[in-house]
Chain A
Amino acid sequence: MRKITYGKAISEAMHEEMVRDENVFILGEDMGIMGSVFGLTKGFRDEFGENRVIDTPISESGFIGMSVGAAIRGMRPVAELMYVDFTSVCFDPIINQAAKMRYMTGGQVKVPMVIRAPEGAGRRNAGQHSQSLESLFTHIPGLKVVAPATPYDAKGLLKAAIRDDDPIMFIEHKLLYAGKGEVPEEEYIIPLGKADVKRAGKDVTIIAYSRQVTFALQAAKELADEGIDAEVIDLRTLVPLDWETIEASIKKTHRVVIVQEAPKRCGYAGEISAQIMEGAFDELDAPVKRVAGLNVIPPFSPALEDLIYPNPKDIVTGVKEILGK
């Protein structure tokens, strides 16, 4: 099978959906002439025209609000925020408008919009361009949150997200863009809410999403060398959450490590942990372990930035801890 990058996979998903459905259009900063800062929409404007590939001014609140209006009028906007950090500028249209519009109108409208937003540390971009904010959105009823780890998942999930009738935060990790993986030529869709067992194992379950899946798999490999057989679950979508896959794995391994790049305090790993305590406590042979980012602001200095988020070694340490090794 051919191998393409995560960035190319996202680009293909948008392209295919724009060809398939004329109601799909994209908007955001530098999406047109420049083809987006990560180069994902190069050539789109020439092909689809200025009406469907819209270069917005730097007005996040305005164009995310406009996406809500266009969505309730039957369009399917795919808006890009250059960095997830910029959602702070447009919390109202995301949280008070997009998320609530269907419920508050008694089910009259649908808000089929996707907000693509790169997150994550590791590029020396400092405090306002390196955060992982998914837990803010998982807290809000009405939003769905997707965070793919591989090119295959990114393409299949983005196509599902664009076709979904609810507002979706599609959170990409900027350090995954250049990574390659197998992606079939033929069309496929990955349904939202279906986790993927990226590695089967019997001794411990490592639950991760986004870039930390790649770290969890590296950790699992190291652990295997030491005779520990780890199962790695990639959640892929945080809302809706695939509880069945989590539960089935815990029934097999009885031990869980949850990994996230975001700061530990009030992060999504805490939510999964609580759900496991409520729903599968009897299956546990050890307390649930979280391996997560430090509760700090992303620093600039490379020497400091690399300390703030978990690496494969931290995951290995976490697993050994709950195994008592």
Chain B
Amino acid sequence: MSAKKHGKELSLKFYREMSKVRAFDEKASELFTQARMSGNIHTCIGQEASNVGACQGLRPTDFITATHRGHGQCIAKGGDVKLMFAELFGKETGYCHGKGGSMHIANVGLGILGANGIVGAGIPIAGGSALASKIKGTDEVTLSFFGDAASNQGTFHETMNMAAAWHLPMIFMCENNKYGVSVCIDRVTNTEDIADRAKGYNIAGVVVDGNDVFAVYDAVQAAAERARKGEGPTLIESKTYRWHGHYEGDPMVYRTKEEINEWKAKDCIARLRQDILANHFATEEELDKIQGEVKAEIEAAVKFAEESPFPEAAEVTTDVYVTDNERSVTR
């Protein structure tokens, strides 16, 4: 932890953002359990440092592709929790007018090129965004979030190979939370670190403590700087852990209570809190106040979402196509 090095302002900003991510997903989990929301919910509780450190290491004009466990990634990139909850409720006011839901939140204006329901599918899309920046000669960086399981998809290899060969301004951000649904990474790979794979492409590979927001932030900043200088992509492996199951309702027969508790003891938000207190950047009361404000923001967002209207029936056929939408949809 290096709150001291990064100063009070950034430390408190990170604390607020990480608390917001957690409050969002705790609320989403609660609403799902109460059957107030439908679909699938994949929470990122436990991974907040990774989400926030990565997005804060980018510029607002940079781009990300998010995963199906992407609520935190979207919030950290500037997502408005009101519009996100509205999307989770399938409401007209949601980021995608209720047509995408939890797994597909996108907002191009914020640089969020879309979350994805297909494991590994966002990686080449991020590569294409980086290619677009290279062709246009602009300096945006595109970061692709993906999990440890996606690192075994062909898209990971294919995109990393092309991004490396063409020096694309891209960051491969692997949030290694140990599990692909029920399968532990050590049962399906023979290496300790996914970051080692960078060697095969002659690019930088970095392992960071994914529960240390500053470590993630520093790694992404350094990678973004390399990318902007034309030095190509970086593979960052952020070692972290999801506290909840793959989806809400997952019976989690594949791991032990001891393992979960061991990781909960490494809680990234509690760690940051201790660090802030140790450096006297804030008092317990001030940090509690941030927690209270964040929770109030989440409650207001849920209220907004619940009170928002569903999309009109006519919306079911809009936006399948840009041109010839009506004709192409009916025939």
Beta-carbon contact of A66 and B125 below 8 Å: yes
Q: Give Cα A38–Cα B108 distance, bound, in whole angstroms.
A: 37
Beta-carbon contact of B162 and A70 below 8 Å: no
Given A144-B321, A275-B331, are A104 and B104 neighbors across the interface (CB < 8 Å)?
Answer: yes
Interface size on B, residues (CB 8 A): 52
Chain B residues near A96: list those with CB within 8 A.
117-118, 121
Chain B residues near A275: list those with CB within 8 A.
331
Q: Mark A291-303, 1 if CB is under 8 A from B, else 0.
A: 0000000000000
Q: Is B155 an interface residue, CB under 8 A from the partner?
A: yes
Chain A: CB-nearest residue to B65: A69
Q: Give Cα A55–Cα B61 distance, bound, in whole angstroms.
A: 29
Beta-carbon contact of A103 and B99 below 8 Å: yes
Q: Mark B306-331, 1 if CB is under 8 A from A, else 0.
A: 00000000000011111110011101
Q: Give Cα A95–Cα B195 distance, bound, in whole angstroms.
A: 30
Most chain B CB inside 10 Å of its own CB: which residue of A71, A109, A275: A109
Chain B residues near A75: list those with CB within 8 A.
131-132, 135-136
Q: Is A241 an interface residue, CB under 8 A from the partner?
A: yes
Chain B residues near A68: list those with CB within 8 A.
124-125, 128
Q: Is A118 an interface residue, CB under 8 A from the partner?
A: no
Beta-carbon contact of B125 and A63 below 8 Å: no
Within 128-176 of B, Cβ neighbours of A (below 8 Å) are at 128-136, 142, 154-155, 158-159, 161-162, 165
Beta-carbon contact of B132 and A165 below 8 Å: no
Select one of B96, B159, B165, B324 contacting A66, CB under 8 A: B159
Q: Is B79 an interface residue, CB under 8 A from the partner?
A: no
Chain A residues near B114: list those with CB within 8 A.
72, 101, 104-105, 109
Beta-carbon contact of B125 and A102 below 8 Å: no
Select one of A72, A110, A112, A166 contacting B129, CB under 8 A: A72
Interface residues on A, range: 35 or more
Beta-carbon contact of A240 and B127 below 8 Å: no
**Minimum C-beta distance from A283 to chain B (A):** 17
Chain B: CB-nearest residue to A163: B323
Within 53-86 of A, Cβ neighbours of B (below 8 Å) are at 56-57, 59, 61-75, 77
Beta-carbon contact of A192 and B165 below 8 Å: no
Beta-carbon contact of A193 and B155 below 8 Å: no
Beta-carbon contact of A65 and B96 below 8 Å: no
Q: Give Cα A173–Cα B221 distance, bound, in whole angstroms.
A: 49
Q: Mark A119-139, 1 if CB is under 8 A from B, else 0.
A: 000000000000000000000
Q: Give Cα A96–Cα B117 distance, bound, in whole angstroms.
A: 9
Given A104-B99, A110-B322, A241-B331, are A52 and B125 neighbors across the interface (CB < 8 Å)?
Answer: no
Chain B: CB-nearest residue to A77: B128
**Minimum C-beta distance from A325 to chain B (A):** 32
Beta-carbon contact of A70 and B132 below 8 Å: yes
Q: Mark B70-112, 1 if CB is under 8 A from A, else 0.
A: 0000000000000000000000001111111000101110000
Chain B residues near A108: list those with CB within 8 A.
95-96, 106-108
Beta-carbon contact of A65 and B94 below 8 Å: no
Beta-carbon contact of A59 and B125 below 8 Å: no
Beta-carbon contact of A193 and B132 below 8 Å: no
Beta-carbon contact of B108 and A62 below 8 Å: no
Q: Give Cα A315–Cα B121 distance, bound, in whole angstroms.
A: 44
Q: Give Cα A35–Cα B157 distance, bound, in whole angstroms.
A: 26
Q: Is A182 an interface residue, CB under 8 A from the partner?
A: no
Beta-carbon contact of B161 and A57 below 8 Å: yes
Chain A residues near B329: list those with CB within 8 A.
141
Beta-carbon contact of B100 and A69 below 8 Å: no
**Minimum C-beta distance from A112 to chain B (A):** 8
Select one of B99, B134, B135, B158 contacting A59, CB under 8 A: B158
Most chain A CB inside 10 Å of its own CB: which residue of B94, B114, B126: B114
Q: Give Cα A109–Cα B114 distance, bound, in whole angstroms.
A: 10
Q: Is B302 an interface residue, CB under 8 A from the partner?
A: no
Beta-carbon contact of A107 and B128 below 8 Å: no
Chain A residues near B301: list those with CB within 8 A.
none
Chain B residues near A142: list those with CB within 8 A.
320-321
Beta-carbon contact of A51 and B124 below 8 Å: no
Nearest 7 pairs of A and B residues by beta carbon: A69-B128, A65-B124, A62-B158, A106-B97, A66-B128, A106-B96, A73-B132
> 8 other contacts beyond A67-B128, A69-B129, A93-B124, with CB at 8 A cut-off?
A52-B135, A59-B161, A75-B136, A77-B128, A104-B96, A106-B97, A240-B331, A241-B327
Chain A residues with a Cβ under 8 A of chain B: 25, 51-52, 56-57, 59, 61-75, 77, 92-93, 96-97, 101-110, 112, 141-142, 144, 164-166, 192-193, 239-241, 243, 275
Interface pairs (10), CB distance under 8 Å: A62-B154, A72-B129, A73-B129, A74-B132, A97-B121, A101-B114, A105-B114, A106-B97, A109-B106, A112-B322
